[in-house]
Amino acid sequence: MSEIQDDDSDIPMLSGSALEALKEFYADRDAKEKELENLKAKKNTGDILSMDTFTENWNDSQFWYSQETADIFARELLAKCDNKSKIAVISAPSAFVQLKNIIASTSMTADKIPEIYLLEFDERFSIFPEFVFYDYKYPLKLPPSMKGSIDHIICDPPFLSEDCQTKAALTARWLSKPSAASQGQPTPDPASRVIVCTGERMNSLVNKLYGPLGIHTTTFEPVHAKGLSNEFYCYANFECATWKWKD
């Protein structure tokens, strides 16, 4: 009987450049995990935050806004707010992070800082006290006290499907305060200011779903940090210096 010999010839080997790329990937992942742990330990220290700490997960349809877009949304959410106001950020963590950065960097007085909720599926963001776990598949599985109590809302449904868009809209409408717009009459100062950010091909569906809130397609086109092939629109039930209604 012949002696069995080890033969590594069939085992695929990575090239030097591939090995370096793999090492870089793991080093970057470990660094981000360490940053998250540091953030969790610090909590509310007032440090300026960066979305670079949170790697996008494309499987969860995560695409962060550009700094400029996040800043625009955050400032519109903070407009006309005081410490009695409530803001809900639905599936738009980059807007939420910029909200926190503006509050930390502008030394807002206590009488101007609103109560903020981040409704989010990604539990990496549970390091923030504002985090409320949210799964669009269960649109009303939220604290009952939030119903009809939110002054300013931004919603960026994670998927461009009718099911996801419909359920996210149900959440936004459930959170919103009753107003004249609920009768289909847009008002210049709605009880709840609502912003929706999603794909252009959802245009007719979004206007239908949020019609009771007085939503219209606006002239503002959100930009994502790493770019997207899909054209995105901003919808809102109010006009401002940044956007006007298209129709």
User: Rounded mean pLDDT of the chain?
Assistant: 86
Q: What is the pLDDT of residue 135?
A: 98
Q: What is the pLDDT of residue 182?
A: 47
pLDDT score of 19 more than 50: yes
pLDDT tens, residue by residue, 155-213: 999 999 999 999 999 999 999 998 754 455 556 679 999 999 999 999 999 999 999 99
How many angstroms separate the CA atoms of 183 and 35, rounded? Answer: 47
Fold entry, domain 62-236:
Rossmann fold (3.40.50)
pLDDT score of 30 more than 60: no
Average pLDDT, integer, range 4-20: 61
Residue 163 near residue 197 (C-beta atoms within 8 A): no
Give the other-Cβ count within 10 Å of 139's Cβ: 19
Nearest Cα neighbor of 72 from 149, 154, 132, 128 is 154
Q: What is the pLDDT of residue 54?
A: 85
pLDDT band per the 50, 70, 90 thresholds, residue 40: low
Q: With 0.85 as the threshold, say if the pTM is over it.
A: no
Domain ranges of the chain: 62-236
Instruction: Please provide the distance, in angstroms rounded to a whole number, between the alpha carbons at the two ends of the chain.
Output: 86
pLDDT score of 1 more than 60: no
Average pLDDT, integer, range 49-59: 80
pLDDT score of 116 more than 90: yes
pLDDT score of 75 more than 90: yes
pLDDT band per the 50, 70, 90 thresholds, residue 112: confident
